[in-house]
Structure formats: structure tokens, C-alpha cells
Structure 1
């Protein structure tokens, strides 16, 4: 049985950060191949489609790059997702706590505001690693298409991380995706999760309900912000080949995609993204609310509920 989010307090912030980090690591390990397929499908241009769908992408990836090709960039992603989930999940709880200090029930607007603030906190920390993850995932695809092999030395990785940091401040690409995602996801999850409570006197929730709530909320939020994710991925991808489209910012990217590929292009990889985000957040929420961090820090049940 998992605890209700409302039972957490600011005193347990270190435990929340541990819970979020472990939750992210477990979740991303399970769904990383789908995330890789999503990135490669989003980067396909009209007339240059190497992959027909998610399964075709995974099969071709295994044939051309081997089994571990499906985990290209996984080390970076694990490094990225640990602070990302730790900050996002813990920050949401923190801001919800701050916004409900008067003892009143959180309004939907305050829940959305808490999610927005959580998304901002996460983006500031994780943007450089996100940039590197996208480029590593795309590298194998470019090699399979006949482009020159992409090699990442320690110097190149440092340069890419600096470039990613610059993009955080110049283009705010992840804010374009992660803030709307958090605004949709966290309030929806909170309301779905609350439906699983046994009673007002017993706010505990079965673990499977936490998983289902995380999956459902993650799926809805992922599809809702898929157009933002497509634009972000296009702008973050590797240098284009001679016949491939280049973009000069968000507005130019949106305009060219609409003109040359149509509105449907903004939903490229949406199903893959939903398949990634749904179980990722379902697993993450279960691990987060089970209380691994509290156990590791030596909290007893009495300390947890009286904190």
C-alpha cells in the first residue's frame, strides 16, 4: 500500500529526492528502447523515412547496431533522469505544500502552478544532459543512413554540454515542453490518485492504483505536449546532411514543418512518447510513494507519519 501525496511534508525532502532519483532510474531502464525509437521517428523528414513505425525502428536498430544499440545514450539518460525525477517529483510536493499552508484545499489553479514551478526547477538543472542524450540517440540513426560516423570524445561531450546549457537560456526548448507537461500531469495524477483512497480517514492507496494513475496521467500529458517535443527534438538534433532541413529557431521550425510536412508531423512519435511516459511515470510514482528514501534514511513508520 502506498501513501497519499498529502502525507508528505517538507521535513522529508531528502527522502523525497532519493525516492525520485531511484524511481527515475528504475523507470527509464525499462522504457529506454521505446524512447530511442521515439527520438528517431521524430527526426525523420518527408522523403527520407528509414523507419515505418516503432517496431521497425527497433528491429533495424538491433540489426545495424546490435542489442545494445537500443540503449545508445542510456548512460547519459540515467545520469539525466536521476536528478530530473528527483527534482520534479519532490519540487511538486514542496510547492503543493507551500500553496496549501493556509490549510485549505488546493484549487486546480494552485495545482497547475505547483506543477509549473516543478517543471521550471527540473529544466534548469537537466537541460545540458538532455541535449547530449538526444544527440547520442540520433547518432546511430545518422550512421545507418550513410552519414559519416559520429564520434564523441571527452572534448566533444564537454562542448555539447556547454552548447546545451546555452540552448537552455537562448531558446528555452525544454521549458516549452516540460512546463506544459507538468501543468497537465501533476494535477491530473493527484485527482486520479485520490480516487483510489479507501476513505477520508485512510488516505493510503494500493500500489497498483498509483501505477495506473501515473500511467494515465503520463499518457494524457505526453500526447498533449507532443508538438512541443517534436520541435524541441528537431532543434536539438545533430547537424543536418546536405539535403536535410535546417531551422533558425522555434518559429522557423514550426513554420517549415507545417509547410513541408503538414500538421500531422507534430504528432510524429506521439504513440512512442506515450508508451515511454506512461509506464515511466507509473513505475516512478509507485517507487516514489512506497518510500524507499524513508527506509534508506532510517525513518520508522511513526517518524514518517508524524514528520
Structure 2
């Protein structure tokens, strides 16, 4: 999900940063979660078993079969855990940047990448269980839709097509087992222990570390290009666009890792879907059965998720929500 940018012109107050990060994360999750749900379902589709043609088709069928709030299945998990996730990432990135810049010299690109790497490694403490639970809730509708599709086809061959087909995506909630995040957590802890919540940890690290390594330096340099001088900050709109561009670039670059992570963290599968023993097995089976194009599934959705999220980050920092709550002087992007 959202990776909050830290740059030299942000507020020096860590509590304010944490509030800004939490607010930005919650607002961002609420705005783009339906696209994230579509991304998860598209990435979990196997060749020859497609229920959804594209993002819009997925969203339309979700609304028809599960209702409007079906697009927000799993959002509660993200809204609950997004604040501690951002707190860890922000604090870690600040810590590493401070340590790497203790000699008083300007941070090099390599040091910025190291700081981002450290932040990405730390955030998976929260990110992995958060995404693990979210994916189970998000993918339940796809499995139910796939099961209906499997049931409809034989029925059509027997002459009952019209009656059965009318049940598919034509309204009414989907007949699926609805489990809450708490129930899923309890089941995982009972059957697999704490490590069950960290299924896909390696794939999450594979995704989040490169993302942070690409995003943080790229944003800093794009944003610096819009500064009128070294003593002036870039205009707000430039920081907004820089965040969008850097976020989209990093998101698409690590999309193959996101596909692998999603597949490994999807515990419920249909009878025709294969299981994976680990990252290497997942890559091997996807290449063999679906081809390299499968690693780009959901890439456009992911880009559409990240861009507005970083736009929201810039808006929250510009408004100084955290500073306002704490009674501090609001941070102004236009100030020198």
C-alpha cells in the first residue's frame, strides 16, 4: 500500500509526521481501496479460469454480486493497521537518514537508497500480516464468482442455462462464507501459529525494499528539480506530481514481486488452482503455466492506486493536519 515520502522540507516533529501519515493512509485507503481489491482479484486469476476481463469488469461484477460495500472487503484491516505501519516506516526512514547524514554532508543517492531499504525492511513487521488478512477478505468474492461460473456451465449444457445464468452477477449478495479478519487471525494462530500471519514475508520484503529504494531517491530528485533555488521549496503542485510519478514508477517496477506475494498469501484456492511451496516454486509455476506476462497482472491497477495515494500524502502535509492537531505552527510548502 501507501509509502509515505520523507523529504528535507517536511516538519521536524515526529508526532506530527505520524499523525500526517496516519491521516493520509486512512484517507488514501478509503479512496482507492476498490482499485486495490480489483488488483488482488486480477492477480489471483489463472489462465483459462478468468472471471474478470479487466479492472472495470471486476468492479462492475463485484457491485452486482456483492453490493457496493463488497468493493471494501478487507478495508477495515488496512484502516486499523495503516497508522502503525506508517509510524514504523516514517520513524525508520528518519532514523536511517539521520544516522547516514551524521557527518554533516549532503545525503548521496546511495545513502538515500540505503535509508529507503532500511525503512522497507522495518515496515514489513506490520505490512505482512495486514496484507495477509486483507487478501483473504478481498479474494473471497472472486472464489465465489469462480464457483458460480463452474456451476453455471454444466447446467447450461443440460438445458438449464437461462435459470442458472440469471443467478450470476444479476443482483443480490454472493453466496459466500463471510469471515471477519478476527476469525481469520484466530484460525491462522490456531493452525499455524504466529508464523501463519507472516506467510509471504520473503515476497513482501522482495516488493517493499526495492519499492522504497526506487521511490525515496526518485521523489527527492524530481522534487528538487522544481525548487526555484536551494533555499526555496518546490511549489505544491510540483511536489504532488513528483510523488505521483515516483510512486507509479516504483509500483510498476516491483509489480512482479507483488503478484508473487499475492499468490503466496492467498490461502483459499479453488480445486483447480495450484499451491506454491515458496517464492522460487511460485515463480517457476507461473512462468511454466502462464508465461512472463502474468507477472504484470494488476500493474495498471497498482499504478492507479499509488498515484492518488501520494497525491493525498502531499495534500495532508500541505494542510499540516498533524501540526494543527498538536497546536504547532503549520508547515508551509511555499516557505523558504
TM-score normalized by the length of structure 1: 0.89
Q: Hey, what's the Cα distance between the residues in 1 that align with 2:295 and 2:126? A: 27
Q: Which runs of 5+ in 2 are unaligned?
A: 1-5, 149-174, 332-336
> Which of 198, 221, 224 does residue 194 from structure 1 map onto?
224
What does 1:196-211 align with in structure 2 at a 5 Å threshold? 196-202=226-232, 204-211=233-240
Per the TM alignment, residue 301 of structure 1 is displaced from its structure 2 partner at its CA by 5.6
Secondary structure of the structure 2 residue equivalent to 1:116: helix
Deviation at 1:126, TM superposition (A): 2.9
User: CA 1:60/1:241 → structure 2, altered by over 3 Å: closer, same or farther?
Assistant: same
145, 153, 156: which is aligned to 2:184? 156
Give yes or no for contact 1:21–1:82 (8 Å, CA) kept in 2.
yes
**Larger Rg, first or second structure (1 or 2):** 2
Pairwise CA distance, 1:45: 0.2
1:128 is displaced (CA, Å) by 1.3
| 1:225–1:186 Cα change, 3 Å | same
State the alpha-carbon separation in 1 of the partners of residues 228 and 80 from structure 2: 37
| Equivalent residue, structure 2, for 1:77 | 78
Distance 1:260 1:93 in 2: 43
What's the CA shift for 1:216? 0.4
How many angstroms does 1:64 deviate by?
A: 0.6
User: 1:11-39, CA deviations, whole angstroms, 9 ceiling, x for partnerless residues?
Assistant: 61111111111111111111111110000
Kindly tell me: are residues 286 and 38 of structure 1, through their superposed partners in 2, closer, same or farther at Cα, counting changes over 3 Å?
Answer: same
Residue matched to 1:282: 311
- Specify whether residues 53 and 124 from structure 1 end up closer, same or farther in structure 2 by C-alpha distance, changes over 3 A only: same
Aligned to 2:204: 174
**Match for residue 143 of structure 1?**
144
CA offsets, 1:198-255, max 9 Å, x none?
Answer: 31122x2322222111110110000110000000000111322211111111110000
- Output the TM-score relative to the length of structure 2: 0.82
Q: Contact 2:128 / 2:200 at 8 angstroms: preserved in 1? A: no
Which SS does the other structure have where 1:106 is aligned?
Answer: coil
Q: What is the 5 A alignment of 1:1-307?
A: 5-8=7-10, 12-146=13-147, 149-152=176-179, 154-160=182-188, 165-166=194-195, 168=198, 171-202=201-232, 204-288=233-317, 290-300=319-329
Q: Which runs of 4+ in 1 moved over 6 A?
A: none
Taking structure 1 as reference, are residues 166 and 245 closer, same or farther at Cα in structure 2, changes over 3 Å only? same
The structural deviation recorded for 1:149 is: 2.4
Deviation, 1:96, is: 1.8
Say if 1:257 and 1:301 are closer, same or farther in 2 by CA, change over 3 A: closer
Equivalenced residue count is 297
Unaligned runs of 5+ residues in structure 1 are 303-307
RMSD across aligned positions (CA): 2.2
Relative to its length, the structure with more helix (as a share) is 1
SS at match of 1:172: helix
Kindly indicate whether structure 1 or structure 2 has the higher relative contact order, using CA contacts under 8 Å at least 6 residues apart. 1
